[in-house]
Amino acid sequence: MTSKLPNATTPAAPIPDRRPTERTFHGDTVVDPYEWMRDKTDPEVIAHLEAENAYADARTAHLDALRGKLVEEFIGHTQETDLSVPVRRGDWWYTTRTTAGDDYPKFTRVPDTGTMPQIEPGVMLEGEQVLLDAQAEAAGHEFYSLGGLAPSPDHTLFASAVDTAGDERFTLRITEIATGKVLDESVTGTGYGIAFSADQEWLFYARVDDAWRQHQIWRHRIGSDPAEDVLVLEESDERFMIGFDRSRDGSTLILQSGSTTTTESWLLDLTDPTSAPVPAGGRRDGVDYGVEHAGDRLLVVHNDGHLGFALAQAPLDAPGEWEELLVAAEGERLLSVEAFAQVVALELRSGGLATVRLIPRAADGSLRVDEAQDITHGGELDTVELDANPNWDQTTLRYQLTSMLTPATVAERDIVSGETSILRVTPVPNYDPSLYVERREWATAADGAAIPLSVVARRDVPADGTAPGYLYGYGSYEVSIDPSFVPTRLSLLDRGVVIAIAHVRGGGEMGREWYEHGKLLQKKNSFSDFVAAAEHLGASGLIDPARLGAEGRSAGGLLMGAITNLAPERFRAVIAGVPFVDALTTILDPSLPLTVGEWEEWGDPLHDPEVYAYMKEYTPYENVRETEYPAIFASTSLNDTRVFFVEPAKWVARLRETVTSDQTERPIVFRCEMVAGHGGRSGRYRKWEQRADELAWLLDQLGATELV
């Protein structure tokens, strides 16, 4: 094993042993010298990762002061002692409190006296109860994350799901609120989701298989031995993952199994928790739908015959008989629906932005579709999404508004009058929005498609081709990276960096067709779209083409690997977070998390030679070129169950041995968090430190370390 850092004054990159292994599919043999690093229990693998961390420390030691300054700025733009807008559930108002110096919040509640309580940051009210003190719970753990919180129907019990390793396997805890007594914490290794039965004797939870596929729903009698738990529903098809949610009126557990293109739903009567789930729509290949229990009927958002999806209703006793109510207009994509006694709220995309459409209900419960209204605030980059609305009979509807310059804003719309009230604008100290400007730009893709970009910059930064730039992208799974306010971006903006998000194909920003044209055998569109966005920023004078940084994470890390191979000359520095860069190796192995369930996204190279050849042309690890590359900062976590640490470890080793760029000037740095998951470190201060590490490196590479 030769992975070691010689000394602090003359750092050398760790060099892992080359131990060739062969992979043969469809008559094609690939020799991989670094696949041996997959085993995280191997002491040599751990030694190599630790050597990489030591090398990263040495190569970035000169940035210590800048990292500290960035953390100070992040904190300076945060009201550290703060709280969320209280949410009424039953006879209580629930809220979340943060305290200066604490990484994790407290979850509390106060009794409902008829109006929303006037709660102050840092001031506990008389009668306020602490349901869970996450800061205290996290003591002694390097990592702490919650996978679910739920009060019982009568609000006497409180259930939580905790992960202290980063592997997204949770331990359930049920607490008696009045006494703080833990009634049950015997169920371990669960997935996401918690739901009480109506009589709160039972708790429903999910389990995951070895490939991190959530494949089972179980029922646990509180206080009993988990060995007696009952399997409620199992999904045997490896393409599908299963989950559940409780209806707003508390009567029904809605279970849904879904692949990338197909879903199936069931309903379970929570007043009869030992009953079997009832099918609610069946499974038809290619039909993607979601079910909402609307009291006297079901509401369904589906794509059966409609690319942009449609809203339908169905009788409770005949859930498969869909009656169409509303079809997405051109340029729209219906996403989901939430039902209340007096109104139905439809989340959708329109013109590339997220919005909410309100549909009143008549006295008989029918939907007055012709009276529907969209919630708008007039901003060019406004993102509008539903907020917490847990009560069936509520007369107001909460939503969140944000943009690149608008801090997260909780607003409330009166269902009858239509009047809007702003409940809270997230405080951002030391922030003057008038100093900045945001706008929509359009790049032209290689095939002529218009690619939207969301752009924000300081108003005083001239568009004369001299500014440093930062371009973010994702482009997979129909996930939309919508314009939103991110306080840590202010540290880039205030150093003159122009920030842009490239809404490339493969994402969902422009609707279902946008997604379809960036997946499977059209996946390369995502990569060329991102390059086109970079070229547009330079050609328009918004940035200096020689000072452009890029970032993507997870599947966006695949995007980063692909664009550095496709057009390395377009980028000065690239951050690749938990990057999916060894895509072909992973998708060829059905035992790994991103495989069978991912074939509908990437294709099935195991059985289809055309898919194999196409993926081999773009998978980043196998296409590193012998030419000059941008500087690269790759990061991962040892316990990540979605993208294994071995992918960036192998990619970095190949980059270092192949690229011709001066790695003193353009270093290839790799960090592995040894106790963390897909999202990196836990706790807000530790997350800020991790982000400062990445951004200090990027700013240094872009020559933008000083405030303007």
Query: What does each C-alpha distance from 696 to 63, 76, 93, 234, 539 come to in angstroms?
Result: 6, 17, 41, 47, 27
Catalytic residue (one of 554, 635, 637, 682) = 554
Q: Is 286 left (phi over 0), alpha (psi -120 to 50) or beta?
A: left
Distance CA 260, CA 568 (A): 31
For 228, residues 6+ apart whose C-beta sits below 8 A from its C-beta are 221
Angle at 300 between CA 232 and CA 416, to 5 degrees: 120
Distance CA 96, CA 84 (A): 5
Distance CA 10, CA 2 (A): 16
Catalytic residue (one of 32, 103, 167, 640) = 640
Distance CA 259, CA 292 (A): 19
Q: Is 554 part of the annotated catalytic residue set?
A: yes
Whether 32 and 24 have beta carbons less than 8 Å apart is answered as: no
Query: What does each C-alpha distance from 254 to 298, 315, 555 come to in angstroms?
Result: 11, 15, 29
* Of the candidates 402, 464, 404, the residue with the CA atom closest to the CA atom of residue 440: 404
Sign of CA dihedral 685, 688, 692, 693: positive
Q: Which two tokens stand for residue 614?
A: 């196409």
Distance CA 400, CA 509 (A): 18
Q: φ and ψ at 568, to 5 degrees?
A: -60, -25
Amino acid present at 607:
H
Q: Which two tokens stand for residue 623?
A: 């296409």
Q: What is the DSSP string of 465-528?
A: S-S-EEEE----TT--------GGGHHHHTTT-EEEEE--BTBSTT-HHHHHTTSGGGTHHHHH
Q: What is the DSSP string of 661-681?
A: S-TTTS-EEEEEESS-BTTBS
* Of the candidates 452, 493, 407, 413, the residue with the CA atom closest to the CA atom of residue 695: 493
Local structure of residue 366 (DSSP, 8 states) = -
Distance CA 543, CA 467 (A): 5
Helices and strands (H, E) in the chain, number of each type: 12, 39
* Of the candidates 620, 450, 604, the residue with the CA atom closest to the CA atom of residue 521: 604
Q: Catalytic residue positions?
A: 554, 640, 678
